[in-house]
Structure 1
Amino acid sequence: MSTASDARFWDRSSRKYAISAIADQAGYERTLDRTRALLRPNDRVLELGCGTGTTALRLADHVQGYLATDISAEMIAIANEKYAAGPIPALVFRTATAEALTPAAAQFNAVLGFSYLHLVRDLPGTLRRIHAVLAAEGLFISKTPCVGDMNPLIKFALPAMRAIGKAPYAGVFRAADLRRHICAAGFDILATENHATKGNEARPYIVARKI
């Protein structure tokens, strides 16, 4: 298993993913509202793991520049199809990962990672790269499943599902572990919130500032 196999999984899943319903629409809207309030008109924003571009298309017209990236070329293709139906000048979609970005060439005021960090294979390394591409005092905003805080059966089922191609790689960590890794990468955590409207789904919304 590798990042290449992860990309192939999401390529295969892209069309089904594109038509799937958001499990907690009200919680998603709360996340969008909170994020929008944190972004400024002159900000340059990077979104990691943008999928088919739903969030980018909702946020990009509020900032100066918005680069939305995903490991899956097929996800980005669908995002560009959506973009063609309603272009936003500030928005660009690109197939890329955090590790592929060059810090010297890409200084962002905010980096967004929604349902992203649990899918990366090197969590500390990815967080260090996010820190590197942020401008001074830039914000990192994350909302991702903390599998270690979920039903224990999930973490035992994941390896079997991956073995038959029914699931991508997913890291198992608790919210406390995630906060510790974020701080170790050079961030000050400003807020940890629960945006779920259907109970606590172990997907903390975390706002952190580069220090």
Structure 2
Amino acid sequence: MTSTAKFWDKIAPKYAKSPIKDMVAYEYTLGRTRSYLSATDRVLEIGCGTGSTALLLADSVQQITGTDISPAMIGIASDKARAQSVKGADFAVATARQSAQRASGHDAVLGFNIFHLTQDYEAIIADLQKALAPGALFISKTPCLGEPSIGLKRFAFRAMIPVLRLIGIAPFVRSFSFAELEGAIEAAGFDLIETGSFPAMSRYIVARRRG
């Protein structure tokens, strides 16, 4: 097991019990995401954590599969699906890159609060572009600690990360700007159809695989 998987396995029980920090922003982007999905869609969520979002979206699509690098997170997600008797949702252990490479046949791929935690983001979206059919959707929300418009707050967050990583209580974190994130998605072969910041530090992006 990788050190990244071990990190998330260790915090999985606490993570599962943690409340959403900005419920208004979460519910807004959940609603926007649901508006792009249909009852016949097959959906993949990369970095699903303990499955909360996938389970909420399950009744809006034909099938949703959540993947995560952490077996403990996936175990909790699967337990929740059974406890809630949710149909059409399943979960599997996989890295973000592995998930992207297996995205063929899905109508939409979701990734919420995951891509700033990956070191190979450009490769992931390149793999998605190869796997997805023209017209398929890529919907993501990503904290952007390199975004100048956020102001001084971003410096405080960025300064804390190396210290927290050194003592083992923070993972790798990449500092995107909004323009860098959007540019990478467009360069990979996707057209942006909606963007917004909900909350201010996170960029919500809906993109369509170019035909």
Aligned match for 1:177, one of 171, 180, 194:
180
**Cα distance between partner residues in 2 of 1:115 and 1:88:** 23
**Is residue 128 from structure 1 mapped to residue 131 from structure 2 by the alignment?**
no
**Is residue 155 from structure 1 mapped to residue 154 from structure 2 by the alignment?**
no
Instruction: Report SS of the residue matched to 1:144.
Output: strand
Instruction: Report SS of the residue matched to 2:2.
Output: helix
Q: Which position in structure 2 is the counterpart of 1:7?
A: 5
Instruction: Report SS of the residue matched to 2:57.
Output: helix
Q: Which amino acid aligns with 1:208?
A: A
145-154 or 73-82: bigger deviation:
145-154
**Cα distance between partner residues in 2 of 1:140 and 1:102:** 11
Q: Which position in structure 1 is the counterpart of 2:206?
A: 207
**Cα distance between partner residues in 2 of 1:53 and 1:134:** 23
**Is residue 112 from structure 1 mapped to residue 149 from structure 2 by the alignment?**
no
Q: Which amino acid aligns with 1:119?
A: L
Query: Do the aligned partners of 1:137 and 1:210 also contact (CA within 8 Å) in 2?
Result: yes
Instruction: Report SS of the residue matched to 1:42.
Output: coil
Q: Which amino acid aligns with 1:21?
A: P
Post-superposition shift, 1:133? Answer: 2.8
Post-superposition shift, 1:105? Answer: 7.3
Gaps of 5+ in 2: none
Query: Do the aligned partners of 1:98 and 1:130 also contact (CA within 8 Å) in 2?
Result: no
Q: Which amino acid aligns with 2:202?
A: R
**Cα distance between partner residues in 2 of 1:163 and 1:107:** 40
**Cα distance between partner residues in 1 of 2:103 and 2:175:** 32
Over aligned residue pairs, what C-alpha RMSD do you find?
A: 1.6
Q: Please show how residues 1-211 of structure 1 align to structure 2 within 5 Å.
A: 4-101=2-99, 103=101, 106-149=104-147, 150=150, 151-196=154-199, 200=200, 202-211=201-210
Identical residues among aligned pairs (%): 45
**Cα distance between partner residues in 1 of 2:100 and 2:202:** 29
Q: Over residues 56-111 of structure 1, what are the superposed CA-to-partner deviations in whole Å (9 max), with x where a residue is unaligned? A: 11001111111111110000011111111122221111111232247577321100
Runs of 4 or more above 4 Å deviation:
102-105
Q: TM-score, normalised by structure 1?
A: 0.92
Q: TM-score, normalised by structure 2?
A: 0.92
Query: Do the aligned partners of 1:72 and 1:95 also contact (CA within 8 Å) in 2?
Result: yes
Q: Over residues 123-179 of structure 1, what are the superposed CA-to-partner deviations in whole Å (9 max), with x where a residue is unaligned? A: 100111222332221010010100112521222221221111010011111111101
